[in-house]
Amino acid sequence: MKILEKASKNFISELKKQKRENKSLLFLDNVKIIKDALASRSILPKCILTSLDEEEWKRLDVLPKGFSLQTSKEGDEEKSTNLKSIKEQEIDAWAKSVEQSLTEDLPIFRVDEKTIEQLSGTKTPQKVLCIAYSQQHLVQLPKDNFLVLDGLQDPGNVGTLIRTAKASGFEIVFLVDCVRKSNEKLIRSSVGAVLSSNVVEMKRADFVEFAKAHKLNLLCCDMNGQNIFSFKARGQVGVVVGNEGQGVSDEIRALCTLSVKIPMCAGIESLNAGVSGSIIMYEINKNKFV
């Protein structure tokens, strides 16, 4: 019996439709990100597409130990993956019911390279594509330092900041009216860190209400603030990084009880949001690395 079954045209058409309409469905096209996400169980995989032959697939060793392969008859793909039955608003209930385990069968389907290119977000994709949902995180009260991204729209900046938050020990990342965390460029720029981090998407009004209710200690970057290199945080703090062009919103700035600045040489007015946020996070948590 072949390990990799050829996907039907109907199934591929349904995937293309889902990619257009279901903004929470992930199409992961980087082998390292896929392997890390499967190993850490940070995604709920539905199926994998590949244009590799069986020997190449085996050598790539994508699946972690414990995953088993499920073969499907051509025409049964929709039934085996349940993509048609899952709507965006049903994700939470579906995730709870699935309780994906490392021993559950995962369908692997053969497709041609053109199909991988059409479903991928890159011009020169790798020959493996994982269709999945990310694990959903409930809004929780932070127990350690955390990051608040206020209205950032550049997926590169957001991905960089999420990756840095994870690396520097920031517990939670709040995406407040930001680019969606399922954005393919964001996932790639974070090198998959967004999938394994506690990242929560919120509307600004909801975050403001949450911050007020729990009296969160927020810090923003301001040219009149204290020098970050002499600043000493007392207790838990949430670092706020504002929109690339407009900065921190008035609603969230009004909640900030602390402000810092990054000193710069003459001739430079500001730094990239990803760079400035990363400097501040590492400086605040530097004692963790001494």
Q: Structural domain boundaries of the chain?
A: 5-134, 146-289
Tokens for 190, please give them: 């974070």
pTM comes to: 0.83
CA distance 280 to 290: 16
Homologous superfamily, domain 146-289: SPOUT methyltransferase, trefoil knot domain (3.40.1280.10)
Fold agreement between 5-134 and 146-289: no
Distant-in-sequence, close-in-space partners of 101: CB < 8 Å, separation ≥ 6: none
Q: What is the pLDDT of residues 43-71, one digit of tens each?
A: 999 889 999 888 888 888 888 876 655 44
pLDDT tier for residue 159 given thresholds of 50, 70 and 90: very high
Per-residue confidence (pLDDT) for residue 68, from 0 to 100: 55
Q: What is the pLDDT of residues 176-207, one digit of tens each?
A: 999 999 999 999 999 999 999 999 999 999 99
The top-level CATH class assigned to 5-134 is alpha beta
Q: Is the dihedral of CA 239, 243, 247, 248 positive or negative?
A: negative
Write down the residue that tokens 């088993």 correspond to.
68
